[in-house]
Amino acid sequence: MAEARGGSLIIFGTFIISLFLSQLPLPDLLRWARPEWVLLFLVYWVMRAPSRVGLFYAFGLGLLLDLAHGGVTGLNALSLTLVAFLAQLLYRRMRMFPLPQQGIIIALLTGLNQLLHYWMQGLTGTHGDSLLFLLPAVFSGLFWPLVFLFLDRLARTFDLN
C-alpha cells in the first residue's frame, strides 16, 4: 500500500516537472515550437499506468495549466480530458507500436488539443491567422521518444504500473 502511494507521488512529481517545462520562457523564434509537455507526460502515464492516471488526473492537470497560463479557465481541462479519454481507448494498441509510430499518434492528439485551443481563442476574440498553432503538434511528436525513454527508465526503476 505504502509502495503504491510512493508511486503516485513520483507520478505527481513528473507532472510538476511537465508544468515547469510548459512555463519556461522561450525566445520569440521558438515560441510556437514548444512541445505540449503536460500532454506528453499525461499520455505516457495513461499508457503505462492506466489504473492510476485517468480522466480525473487529466482534468486536474488541465485546471492547473489554465491557472498557470492565465487563459480561459477550463480550456486545458477540456482538451486534456479529451486527449486522456482517447489515450485510454488507444493505449493497448499504442503499447505495441514502435516509438516513431507512437510519435505520429501523439502528434495527432496534440493537433486535436491545439485545434480546440485555436477555436477557443477565436471565441474570445484573439486569433492568429497562420497555421503556426499546429507546430507544437509536430514538435510533440518529435519529442515523444525522448519523453518516453526518460519516463520509462523512471517507471522501471521504481517499478510503477
Partner 1 sequence: MIFRNGPSKALFMLLIIAALFLIALDLNSPKFREGRSYVNLIITPLQWLVDMPARLADNVSDVVVSRSSLVAENNRLRTDALELGQRVLQNAALTAENRRLRALLNARSRIDSEVRLAELIGVNPNPFQHEILTNLGSQDGITIGQPALDSGGVMGQVISVAPLISRVMLITDSRAAVPVESVRTGFRSVILGNGNPDSLELDFVPATTDIRVGDTLVTSGLGGRFPKGYPVAEVAEVTRDPGRSFLVIRAIPTARLDQSRQLLLVERPPALLPEQLSEASDG
User: Residue for cell digits 482534468?
Assistant: 59
How far is it, in rounded angstroms, from Cα 42 to Cα 156? 17
Of 127 and 156, which has the nearer Cβ to partner 1?
127
Of 10 and 72, which has the nearer Cβ to partner 1?
72
| Choices 4-12, 73-81, 101-109, 142-150; region in contact with partner 1 by CB under 8 A | 73-81
Is 89 a binder of partner 1 (CB under 8 A)?
yes
Q: Show the CA angle centred on residue 64, arms to residues 119 and 160, nearest 5°.
A: 110
Cβ atoms within 10 Å of 76's Cβ, excluding its own: 29
User: Residue for cell digits 501523439?
Assistant: 106
Q: How far is the CB of 118 from partner 1 (least distance, A)?
A: 8
Q: Show the CA angle centred on residue 129, arms to residues 107 and 79, nearest 5°.
A: 40
Is 108 a binder of partner 1 (CB under 8 A)?
no
The site for partner 1, by CB under 8 A, has a size of: 49
| Choices 6-14, 85-93, 96-104, 147-155; region in contact with partner 1 by CB under 8 A | 85-93
Of 76 and 102, which has the nearer Cβ to partner 1?
76
- The count of C-alpha atoms lying within 13 angstroms of the C-alpha of 24, restricted to the half-sphere facing its C-beta, is 14
Copy the grid coordinates of residue 115.
Answer: 485545434
Is 78 a binder of partner 1 (CB under 8 A)?
yes
Is 12 a binder of partner 1 (CB under 8 A)?
no
